[in-house]
Amino acid sequence: STSVQIEHVTKRFGNTTAVNDVSLNIKSGEFMSLLGPSGCGKTTLLSMILGILDVTDGEISFNATRVDDIPMHKRDVGMVFQNYALFPHMSIRNNVGFGLDMRKVPKKEREKRVEDALSLVQLETLAERYPKQLSGGQQQRVALARALVVRPKVLLLDEPLSNLDAKLRKEMRIQLKRLHQDLGITTIYVTHDQEEALSLSTQVAVMSQGVVQQIGTPQEIFLHP
Ligand code: ADP
Ligand code: ADP
């Protein structure tokens, strides 16, 4: 697995400082939540870790190697967005296989890995359907399978449960926790929901207005604040 170092990272958009001198050390296998209200800089920080947004200042490293020095295809980062972002014209099987097609994984191995990823999220029976034929919770599980199929070393989740109803949110929380326990992937989870952060994380970073105010285990943050 992979550790993630965020050192004195700042991101400015014109006059707005979205992320202000944030340092975080995320150990291998950790489930780290970035918890804070809308606009506090969570998505901006995640986008810089994913590598789709440049830092204004500071450094982000995986296993102590600066991400700038790691070629994109070797970064092994999986990402799940709030709105799933599935391809509507592709079957569930092909949505999940997309990242493997991009990496030119041979057909036989592709089939096996797609099957494995679908079974991790318990969607084997829906492989031939299309996204709009699935419920929101099922679509979110497809997005998760699509991120996991490339066997990422780091998994980034941006409010992945926020579009689900309360019952599904709870179910998915249990699934996410089980997956993390089984696979041990270093996970960074963006949420504004204290209960989610409390139930899922091994570490919580509480953010406000672009800065990390507090870091600790859920117990340290919520029981002895
Ligand atoms: P969160 O994910 O916690 O809701 P964001 O990271 O989306 O917060 O946003 C943090 C701040 O940066 C907000 O003030 C937001 O308006 C601003 N911001 C985010 N992205 C951009 C952008 N591309 N251009 C300008 N301002 C942005
Ligand atoms: P979030 O769900 O994290 O709060 P937002 O709805 O704030 O996300 O932002 C959605 C998208 O719009 C993001 O890609 C973000 O970078 C961009 N964005 C946010 N605020 C601004 C802004 N003030 N100017 C330009 N782009 C922005």
181 lines ligand 1 (CB under 6 A): no
Task: Note the pLDDT of residue 55.
Answer: 97
Instruction: Sort 80 into a burial class: Cβ within 10 Å, 0-12 / 13-18 / 19+.
Output: buried
Residue in the block written with tokens 């859920």 = 218
Q: What is the mean pLDDT of the chain?
A: 93
Q: How far is the CA of 83 from the centre of ligand 2 (A)?
A: 13
Q: State which H helix or E strand residue 44 sits in.
A: helix 42-50
40 lines ligand 1 (CB under 6 A): yes
Average confidence (pLDDT) over 2-24: 97
Sheet containing 65-66: which strands, arranged edge to edge?
16-26, 4-13, 57-62, 65-66
ipTM associated with this complex: 0.71
184-197 burial: b if 16+ Cβ within 10 Å, else e: ebbbbbbbbbeebb
Residue 225 has pLDDT above 70, yes or no: no
Query: Rounded distance, CA 160 to CA 144, Å?
Result: 9
> Which residue among 12, 38, 40, 44 is best mutated to probe the pocket of ligand 1, counting the most ligand atoms within 8 A of its Cβ?
44
Of ligand 2's atoms, which has the minimum distance to the CA of residue 53? 16
Distances (CA, A) of 214 to 22, 39, 44, 46, 198: 11, 17, 18, 18, 14
Q: Which ligand number lies closest to the CA of residue 85?
A: 2
Q: How far is the CA of 142 from the centre of ligand 1 (A)?
A: 27
The pLDDT > 70 percentage for the chain reads 99
Average confidence (pLDDT) over 33-42: 97
Average confidence (pLDDT) over 25-39: 97
Closest C-alpha residue for ligand 2 atom 7: 39
R_g of the chain, CA atoms, integer Å: 17
∠ CA 140-141-142, nearest 5°, is: 90
16 lines ligand 1 (CB under 6 A): yes
Best CA proximity match to 9, nearest among 40, 42, 43, 48: 48
> Which residue among 13, 43, 50 is best mutated to probe the pocket of ligand 2, counting the most ligand atoms within 8 A of its Cβ?
43
Closest C-alpha residue for ligand 1 atom 11: 18
Record the pTM.
0.87
58, 6 contact by CB (below 8 A) = yes
Closest C-alpha residue for ligand 1 atom 20: 44
13 beta partners: 16
